[in-house]
Structure 1
Amino acid sequence: MPRVLIIEDDRAVRDGLLLALRRQGHEVRAAATGEEGLELLRSFHPDAVVLDLMLPGMSGLEVCRRARAHGQVPIIMATARGDDTDIVVGLEAGADDYVVKPVRARVLDARIRAVLRRAGGPPDELSTPRTEHYGDLAIDRAGLTVTHQGRPVALGPSELRLLLTLSASAGQVFSRQQLLEAVWEHSYHGDARLVDACVKRLRAKIGEPAGSPRHVHTVRGFGYRFGTR
């Protein structure tokens, strides 16, 4: 049974999501503040977190950053507005996906199950038992580990799946929509922000120089490709 932590200050919203997700077969705990949420994160050990962006006191962004500093649990950010700035800032803080309030329970359940599949590893066809070396970057597909200059790189589920998807077809250009479908399992248009924010986080973690990436290259007006430079 998937373990889900909800961090949401609005009691009506919190209770509604708690009940709905339990009906969908999840084991759920809920917190009303960021501080309480971080405590539950350490004691409850959830498989996924649903995090309200606009929390009182400690903000949802700070909770996201602290959660990321202690582990790679998938985080779905909930925002009351579809504002581009709020969403991009949240994604860059480490969120794996987002939903806009009012949250529909079935949509949230689908997003949770998608991030859990991503956290479980890449598609079978990408799980070839070998380690690939690209300069100072090494990708172990069997062990689902990445090292840069010999040091382990802690990638979130979306970042890892993005890297595995791109590197499995080095040289091939992927549109943002193709990456949304392969990595996030989103079949609809309009969420290029997910891809761009994840690429930005991935580049930072694998030591890509600002403005001159060695591995994850932007193809202007289309998307991204993996290569060495």
Structure 2
Amino acid sequence: MSVILVVDDDPEIRDVIQVYLRNEGHSVLEASDGVEALGVLAQREVDLIVLDVMMPRMDGIKACMQIRQSYSVPIIMLSAKEGDLDKIMGLSTGADDYITKPFNPMELIARVKAQLRRQKMLAEKGTAHHQITIRELFIDRAKHYVSIRGQEATLTPLEFSILSLLAASPGQVFSADAIYESVWKERAGYTDNTVMVHIRNLREKLELNPRKPEYIKTVWGVGYKIDN
């Protein structure tokens, strides 16, 4: 049974989400804004967060940024905004997925299952005690730990998965579709810049100069790679 935190200022939306989640066997915690959410996280360990964007006191964007400073738990953001820029903004703050309102509750449940399945697979891979070292980049899959130039790098679960995929096959070029299908475990039938945004976030965290990356290289027209 997974523990899921639902953060939304609309109690009716929280009620709908928690009914569907509990029907799937999950335990649900609730918060009405980012401040309450941070308070819950300080008291309880959760497996996933469903986080609304527009809320009083502390909105979802600010809450996501603060959560990412201390926690790597998967975050699915909810927003009434539909534009690509709004989606990119949500992912850039550290969210792992994004759903626009109004949404089909069954779609949300499917996204939740996908994120939890991905977390489980990461944990299973960790039991193999894989450690990868590429120059000053160190990845410990068992501990979900990354350091660069001797300093720990705090990555989201999806960022960690993308980095592990590239680093495990140095020199191999992965297309955006291949990355999406390998990491998200879904067919790459998307039209947004999801993979590009996560690559950009990784470079911001790992590269001395993200505009001239030493590790995550772009092979124009093909995809991305990490060389030894």
Q: Above 0.5 in TM-score?
A: yes
C-alpha distance in structure 2 between counterparts of 1:154 and 1:191, whole Å = 28
Q: Partner residue of 2:27?
A: 27
List runs of 5+ in structure 1 lacking aligned partners.
Answer: none
Which position in structure 2 is the counterpart of 1:99? 99
Q: Which residue of 2 aligns with 1:84?
A: 84
1:171-212 Cα distance to aligned partner (Å, 9 max, x none):
222121111111122314225422112111211222341211
Q: Tell me how many residue pairs correspond in the alignment.
A: 228
C-alpha deviation, 1:158, in angstroms = 0.6
1:44-97 CA-partner distances (Å, limit 9, x unpaired)? 321100001111231110010111112111111111122111111111111011
Look up the match of 1:134.
Answer: 134
Whether the 8 Å contact between 2:132 and 2:167 is mirrored in structure 1 is: no
2:81 is paired with a residue of what secondary structure? coil
Moved over 4 A (4+): 123-128
* Residue 116 (structure 2) aligns with: 116
Whether the 8 Å CA contact 1:138–1:148 is kept in 2: the answer is yes
Structure 1 counterpart of 2:139, which letter? I
SS at match of 2:193: helix
- Residue 173 of structure 1: SS of its match in structure 2? coil
Q: CA–CA distance in 2 between the matches of 1:125 and 1:31? A: 32
Write the deviation string for residues 86-128 of structure 1: whole angstroms up to 9, x where unpaired.
Answer: 1111111110111122222222222222222333454967975
Distance 1:205 1:198, change over 3 A: same
Cα distance in 2 for residues equivalent to 1:127 and 1:196: 29
1:14 aligns to what?
Answer: 14
1:14/1:30 contact within 8 Å kept: yes
1:180-199 correspondence to structure 2 within 5 Å: 180-199=180-199
* Secondary structure, aligned partner of 2:54: coil
Contact 2:126 2:143 in 1 (8 A): no
2: CA distance, partners of 1:146 / 1:105: 35
Q: Which residue of 2 aligns with 1:205?
A: 205
Cα distance, 1:123–1:29 mapped onto 2, change above 3 Å: closer
Distance 1:181 1:22 in 2: 28
TM-score (norm 2): 0.90
Please report the TM-score for the alignment, with normalisation by the length of structure 1: 0.90
Amino acid in structure 1 at the alignment position of 2:147: T
- Corresponding residue for 2:215? 215
Preserved CA contact (<8 Å) 2:77 2:98? yes
Q: Percent same amino acid among aligned pairs?
A: 36
Q: CA RMSD in A?
A: 2.1
Matches within 5 A, 1:141-152: 141-152=141-152
Q: Which runs of 5+ in 2 are unaligned?
A: none
User: Which letter does structure 1 place at the counterpart of 2:57?
Assistant: G
Does the 8 Å contact 1:121/1:144 carry over to 2?
no
